Amino acid sequence: MLKQVIFNNIKNIWGWKTARKILVISVDDYGNVRLDSKEAREKMNQAGLKIRSRFDALDAMETKEDLEILFDALTSVKDKNGRNAVFTPFALPCNIDFEKIASENYRKYEYELLPTTFKKLSEKDTLAYDGTWNLWKEGIEKGIMIPQFHGREHLNVKVLEEKLANKDVEVLTALRNRSYTSISNSGYSTINYTAAFDFWDSSENVDLRKILIDGLHQFRNAFGYKASHFMPPTSKIHESHLSVLKEEGINYIDTNLIHSQHQGLGNYAKSYNFTGKKLKSGQINIVRNVVFEPTDVRGFDWVNYSLKQIEAAFCWRRPAIISSHRVNFCGYIDPNNRKIGIDALKELLKKVVKKWPDVEFMSANELGDLISKTKS
């Protein structure tokens, strides 16, 4: 307990200050097809693909009901300005085109745009997915969902293509079940199979830069506007890409407090970051200082655990930036998982507005804009 209190305070010592009580909720992985369905999970279990995390077990594409229940939670409270709580979904505009890959006998990677994914899901399961993409757009119009960039897709293309070339059993089994999860290893000590911008040799960054630029363009195609804020999948991207990101309109980069950045061939360099830190490339760092993962069963009282982190941030006159994941609010595989996550979210929001009636809800990019104005 004491150790956690100390850490809650230490991580708020440095950074941009404000007397305003600003609350941001950054949620990763929206728009990503990881696990197709309960049936797909059962078939992969039978084939020997193991569940290694709650993401392998529960992280399915958001349904219409998921969004309806989430929107109800976000609109259940208002801040001092009369604004509802807002999610910043760090979203992926592209997914694996499972049908095209299958038609080409699993020879190479192909992707599709997010609206196409929702169209296919709607045809496959009308009850769950019909109208989901329209609801997404409604949430954006109402300002309760303000998506920002999380990469083109939540997978490492190099790893996937190499495994397709080698007819990897795990990958083929997952793809045949319209999923990309439960892959036991990437084949590289420095690459996570879900980390889009991980690499082994620094020369690979040439191709990764093309994926990055294409992803930003596809984000605009999917969501109708340019992203200005970027959180890379698994929070890792080489610093050499930052100038290109800046040219493409990315002004804010989410980074870990203590960031270990791969330099190539297994060599790493550490950086220490804080919200408001100006990078050489011109962007501003944003560091999340509150963790909220209510379906991660570690014996935590997640509401009070997160509330104490918010309190520490406000005590140090920092914005409270919550870090979370879509899996906490998914109910397609298990509706009880969603109930746990949404109930906790509602409770947290109600306690926040009661304890701090002067709280202000913002999206992550809006916070970035505010910091940028005050630092210029």
3-state helix, strand and coil shares in percent for the chain, rounded to the nearest 5: 45, 15, 40
Nearest alpha-carbon partner for 291 in 270, 318, 261, 320: 320
pLDDT 10s digits, 283-297: 999 999 999 999 998
The bridge status of strand 87-91 relative to strand 320-325 is unpaired
236-278 pLDDT tens trace? 999 999 999 999 999 999 999 999 999 999 999 999 999 999 9
pLDDT given at position 299: 77
352-357 mean pLDDT: 98
How deeply is 329 buried, as exposed, middle or buried, from its count of CB atoms within 10 A (0-12, 13-18, 19+)? Answer: buried
Average pLDDT taken over every residue of the chain:
97
Q: How far apart, in whole angstroms, are the C-alpha atoms of residue 189 and residue 187?
A: 7
pLDDT class for 3, splitting at 50, 70, 90?
confident
DSSP 232-275: -GGG---GGGHHHHHHTT--EEE--SEEEEEEETTEEEEEE--T
Q: What is the pLDDT of residue 181?
A: 98
- Mean pLDDT, rounded, for 121-137: 98
* DSSP letter assigned to residue 204: G
Residue 376 has pLDDT above 60, yes or no: no
Global model pTM greater than 0.95: yes
C-alpha to C-alpha distances, 32 to 36, 63, 232, nearest whole angstrom: 10, 12, 13
Average pLDDT over residues 204-232: 98
Report the percentage of the chain scoring pLDDT > 90: 97
- The single-letter DSSP state of residue 148 is E
Give the tens place of pLDDT for each residue, 67-110.
999 999 999 999 999 999 999 999 999 999 999 999 999 999 99
211: left (phi over 0), alpha (psi -120 to 50) or beta: alpha
161-192 pLDDT per residue, tens: 999 999 999 999 999 999 999 999 999 999 99
pLDDT of residue 5: 85
Domain boundaries, the chain: 2-375
Topology annotation, domain 2-375 = TIM Barrel (3.20.20)
Question: Which of the two residues, 59 and 299, has the higher pLDDT score?
Answer: 59
Q: Provide the pLDDT confidence category of residue 223 given band limits of 50, 70 and 90.
A: very high
The pLDDT of residue 50: 98
